[in-house]
C-alpha cells in the first residue's frame, strides 16, 4: 500500500514542476554543493624568480707566492657556487689561456690543473719553475659577469756563498773549515756536493773529510792540510747556484805575497852594487850644485861640474 502511494505522489510532483516551469516561476536553488574546476597552466605553476648564487672566492685576492727555481709552484683558487660555469687560469703577462676546467690549453707541459673536490680548489701546478714564470696569474669563473681571483708568483733564484772567499791561505798541517751559506732558498737542497778542482770529495775514503748539512748551511772539514790540498773548492747545492773559493796551503817560510807574485821577485845580486853606486853619485852631484849656488851663484859652472861628475860616475 505504501509503494503505490509514494509513486502517485512522485508523479504528482513531476506534474507540478512542469506547470511551474511553464509559468516562468523561479526555480528553487539546488541544495547540492557547487562543484567548480580550476585549470592550472604554466603561468600559474612558475614560482617567483630567484637569483642564482654568484660564484664566491674564499681566498684573499692579490696574494703572493714565492717559489724557487726548479721546484713546483702551486697556485690555489677556492671558489664556491661555481655551478655549470667554467673555471679558467690565465697568465696575465701575455693573456695566455692556460687551462679551462680540467683541460690544459698550453703547449708547455709544465702546466697542470688539479681539482680538489672536497675543498672546491682549482689548483694550477707549474713544474720546474723558471725565472720567466714570474708574474701575475688570474683564476676566472665564467659567470655573468665573470669574476676573477689574482695571484702573483715570485720566482727566486737561490744562490750559495762560501764565507771567507774568494781566496784563503792556510799553513801546512792546519785544519780547513769551509762554510757554505744558501741564500734565497724556499726549499732545502736534496744534497750538497763539495769538489776539489773537478773531484767530488764528500765520500773520499783516503782523506779525513767531513761534510755537515744543516738546512741552509753546509760545512766542509779537512784535517792536516798539505800543499797538495791547494786549489779551487766548489760548494754545489742541488737547487742553488754554485759557490767557489781558492785555497792556498803555504809551505814553511812562504808568504802570501810570494805566492801572489809567483816567486821572490828581487833584483839580481850582481846588479845591486851598480844601482847603489849610481844613486850615490847622483845625490853627490845634487849636493855640489846646491852648494855652488849658495856660495858663488855661478850656475853654468855648477851645471858643467855636475855634468862632468855625472859622466865620471857613468
* pLDDT tens-digit readout, 211-260: 888 878 899 999 889 999 999 999 999 888 999 999 999 986 666 665 55
Q: Which of 180, 178, 182 is nearest to 247 (CA)?
A: 178
Q: Distance between terminal CA atoms of the chain?
A: 188
pLDDT of residue 266: 40
Residue 311 has pLDDT above 50, yes or no: no
- Whether 286 has a pLDDT exceeding 90, the answer reads no
pLDDT band of 281, cuts 50, 70, 90: low
pLDDT of 42 higher than 60: no
Query: Which letter, b or e, does each residue of 180-192 get, where b requires 16 or more Cβ atoms within 10 Å of its Cβ?
Result: bebeebbeebeeb
Cα(250)–Cα(197) distance, integer angstroms: 18
176 closest CA partner among 247, 234, 126: 247
CA distances from 107 to 5, 112, 169 (A): 105, 11, 53
Helix boundaries (H) for the chain: 2-23, 42-45, 256-261, 272-295, 299-313
Please write down the long-range contacts of 127-130, taking CB distance under 8 Å and 24 or more positions apart: 127/72, 128/70, 128/71, 128/72, 129/67, 129/68, 129/69, 129/70, 129/71, 129/72, 129/73, 129/153, 129/155, 130/69, 130/155
Per the prediction, the chain carries an average pLDDT of: 78
CA–CA distance, 79 with 88 (Å, rounded to integer): 12
The contacts of residue 27 (CB under 8 Å, 6+ apart) are 20, 21
Q: How many other C-beta atoms are found inside a 10 Å radius of the C-beta of residue 126?
A: 23
Predicted confidence band at 63 (pLDDT cuts at 50, 70, 90)?
very high
Instruction: Give the residue among 206, 228, 197, 233 at the shortest CA–CA distance from 218.
Output: 233
Element (H, E) at 245: strand 243-250
Q: H or E stretch including 217?
A: strand 217-222
What local confidence, expressed as pLDDT, does residue 34 receive?
46
User: Using an 8 Å Cβ cutoff, are 233 and 164 in contact?
Assistant: no
Given a cut of 80, whether residue 23 has pLDDT beyond it is no
**Owner of C-alpha cell 850656475:** 299
Assess whether pLDDT exceeds 70 at residue 11: no
Amino acid at each position: 500500500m505504501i509503494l503505490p502511494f509514494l509513486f502517485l505522489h512522485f508523479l504528482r510532483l513531476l506534474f507540478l514542476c512542469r506547470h511551474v516551469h511553464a509559468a516562468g516561476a523561479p526555480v528553487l536553488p539546488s541544495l547540492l554543493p557547487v562543484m567548480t574546476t580550476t585549470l592550472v597552466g604554466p603561468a600559474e605553476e612558475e614560482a617567483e624568480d630567484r637569483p642564482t648564487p654568484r660564484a664566491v672566492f674564499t681566498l684573499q685576492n692579490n696574494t703572493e707566492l714565492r717559489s724557487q727555481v726548479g721546484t713546483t709552484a702551486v697556485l690555489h683558487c677556492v671558489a664556491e657556487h661555481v655551478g655549470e660555469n667554467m673555471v679558467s687560469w690565465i697568465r696575465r703577462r701575455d693573456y695566455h689561456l692556460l687551462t679551462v676546467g680540467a683541460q690544459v690549453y698550453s703547449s708547455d707541459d709544465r702546466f697542470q690543473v688539479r681539482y680538489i673536490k672536497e675543498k672546491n680548489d682549482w689548483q694550477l701546478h707549474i713544474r720546474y719553475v723558471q725565472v720567466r714564470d714570474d708574474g701575475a696569474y688570474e683564476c676566472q669563473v665564467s659567470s655573468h659577469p665573470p669574476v676573477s681571483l689574482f695571484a702573483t708568483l715570485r720566482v727566486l733564484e737561490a744562490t750559495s756563498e762560501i764565507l771567507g772567499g774568494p781566496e784563503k791561505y792556510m799553513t801546512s798541517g792546519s785544519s780547513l773549515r769551509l762554510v757554505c751559506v744558501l741564500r734565497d732558498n724556499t726549499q732545502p737542497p736534496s744534497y750538497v756536493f763539495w769538489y776539489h778542482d773537478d773531484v767530488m770529495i764528500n765520500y773520499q775514503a783516503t782523506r779525513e773529510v767531513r761534510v755537515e748539512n744543516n738546512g741552509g748551511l753546509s760545512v766542509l772539514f779537512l784535517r792536516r792540510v798539505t800543499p797538495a790540498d791547494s786549489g779551487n773548492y766548489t760548494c754545489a747545492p742541488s737547487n742553488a747556484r754554485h759557490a767557489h773559493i781558492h785555497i792556498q796551503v803555504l809551505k814553511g817560510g812562504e808568504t802570501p805575497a810570494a805566492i801572489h807574485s809567483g816567486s821572490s821577485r828581487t833584483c839580481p845580486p850582481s846588479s845591486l852594487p851598480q844601482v847603489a853606486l849610481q844613486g850615490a853619485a847622483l845625490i853627490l852631484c845634487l849636493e855640489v850644485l846646491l852648494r855652488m849656488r849658495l856660495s858663488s851663484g855661478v850656475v853654468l859652472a855648477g851645471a858643467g861640474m855636475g855634468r862632468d861628475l855625472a859622466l865620471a860616475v857613468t
